[in-house]
Amino acid sequence: MSEPAASRLLVRAEGSVGRITLNRPEAINAVDHGMIRGIADALDAWEHHPDIRLILLDGAGERGFCAGGDVRALREQILAGEAEAAMAFFRDEYALNARIAEYPKQVVVFADGVTMGGGIGLAGHASVRLVTERSRLAMPETRIGFTPDVGGSWLLGRAPGRVGEYLALTGGTMDAADAIHAGFADHLVPADRLGDVRHALVTRADPDTPTEIAMLFDETPEPGRLAASRAWIDDAFAADTVAEIIARLRERPEADAAATADLLETQAPTALTVTLAAVRSARGLPDLRAALAQEYALVEWFGRTQPDLVEGIRAQLVDKDRAPRWQPARLHEVPAETADTALAFRPSVPLWS
């Protein structure tokens, strides 16, 4: 039996701040369906509550805000033929991602420590996104034969230059400076000052101006690795195809460019191909909801038609042998129409009614 959902989520009012804490520190606060529903219920209860003026979302423990969703459970559902149950989770998760972005009261998130995958879906669309010197943000889905979701393609499509393509295809990890540069975060606050920020939000007379409060503790970081690497990233990742991106990386003199080419050659060819197209498509979509709808269709396409998702989760998180057997195994074996087919896929149940 799993623990009750209530114990995995701490929901309470602190002054005029509605505080929601992910409470699975042993799993770096990975979210399950019950937690997604619990957050949504809290937002519903507080939306029109006259005493709640601001929402604060954080995570228990010091390892991270949220390591993502439970993809092991997703694999088990796919293998058991329970695709509908899996898609129900994604419907609720994506609805929550959109709700955070559209919420009428400001939502502040402490993206301290590991914040990846589903954690980006909770943190990346908030009003005020704080990171610390411990923060490590990423959308690592291609490493399990999948594609960035939870609105990740929307954020990636709006990153400067070709940073979005780079982060999407490599699953690269961002520190605080990188996250701010890429548009995934707003302010760097030292981890030992988060308590002071929280105290200020709770005790100040104007808690609905959290940006001004965050600025009191902001420590603007020095330019990070991403900013310093923009020349070769923007050059290589502007290429039309993944194969051409790798070829351009091989032509660059930077050691990091060569290492990136090596990494891409180990990733799932189908996931890379579809992800490149998805990020570029999201760049032209009108809003987050449209991007989430595109991602939702891709989730079902991967789950129903592609063996790589199950295999990638096995290799990275179940058996942990780090030796996935991708199908197909090489980029040149991916059918030319794959990306178009994936983006044209229509889910069995629409995301938005």
Catalytic residue among 59, 118, 145, 164: 118
118 is catalytic: yes
| Model confidence, pTM | 0.96
Residue 301 has pLDDT above 60, yes or no: yes
pLDDT (0 to 100) of residue 119: 98
Q: Are 69 and 26 in contact (CB under 8 A)?
A: no
Q: In the annotation, is 124 catalytic?
A: no
Rounded Cα distance between 343 and 182, Å, is 25
Residue tagged active-site, from 32, 93, 112, 141: 141
Residue 21 neighbours by CB under 8 Å, 6+ apart: 9, 10, 11, 57, 58, 59, 60
| Superfamily designation of domain 5-344 | 2-enoyl-CoA Hydratase; Chain A, domain 1 (3.90.226.10)
141 is catalytic: yes
The active-site residue out of 68, 69, 151, 152 is: 69
* Catalytic-labelled residue, pool 58, 70, 149, 300: 149
- What pLDDT, in 10s, does the model give residues 110-125? 999 999 999 999 999 9
* 149 catalytic per annotation: yes
Question: In terms of Cα–Cα distance, which of 109, 99, 103 is closest to 57?
Answer: 109
Per-residue pLDDT tens over the stretch 82-109: 888 889 999 999 999 999 999 999 999 9
The domains of the chain are located at 5-344
Q: What is the mean pLDDT of residues 197-223?
A: 89
Phi, psi of 203 (to 5 degrees): -100, -20
